[in-house]
Amino acid sequence: MYLYASVYTTERAMKSIQLKTIPLLAGCAVLLAGCAPQEQEAASAGDAAYNTSLNVQELMALVLEPASDILWDSGGWVVDASGYEELYPTTDDGWEYVRAQAAIVVESGNMLALPGRAADDDAWMIYSEGLSEAGILAMEAAAAQNKEDFFQAGAQLYSVCTACHQAYNPEINNRFTSGTDAD
């Protein structure tokens, strides 16, 4: 268990270095090729390597939102007619299941950052990275079965979603908020 935790931390550190280095290197390569370091031009180079037939809207609706909804529905408490109810998983399998949903969130950050999906090489990348970071926190909390940390990770996740929508498609937030409330 101890070993697992330290390996995991190293991986995280490496990942955050990579995340900062890769866009920089990509920017240099484009400059050397004599192109403007602009978003859409760079995208064509990646099309051969990645299958991005799912657009951002589909990725949101079919991959990211279902996973995130499970996370949000698995944290906190509700009070209803039958009384006070905790939403957190109650079994090891239950926590493993939400941990797997958190992994989808982590990888969604990468999927959004792919050429052909990324709207720019700037704030979009920061929000995508933030998505992965919130997902990692949720994975760690689920592995530790730490309810408080899991709840905080869910709150952080929510703020990344709304911040990116606010920046790139503010109209989504209205739909998004009312959708979440209705659930």
Smallest distance from ligand HEC to CB 43, Å:
15
Per-residue binder mask for ligand HEC (CB under 6 A), 164-183, x = binder: xx--xx--x---x-------
Q: Does 60 bind ligand HEC (CB under 6 A)?
A: yes
CA distances for 138 relative to 43, 46, 67, 144, angstroms:
31, 30, 12, 10
Smallest distance from ligand HEC to CB 17, Å:
21
Per-residue binder mask for ligand HEC (CB under 6 A), 140-169, x = binder: -----------------x--xx--xx--xx
Smallest distance from ligand HEC to CB 84, Å:
27
Q: Does 19 bind ligand HEC (CB under 6 A)?
A: no
Q: Which of 112, 137, 138, 139 binds ligand HEC (CB under 6 A)?
A: 112
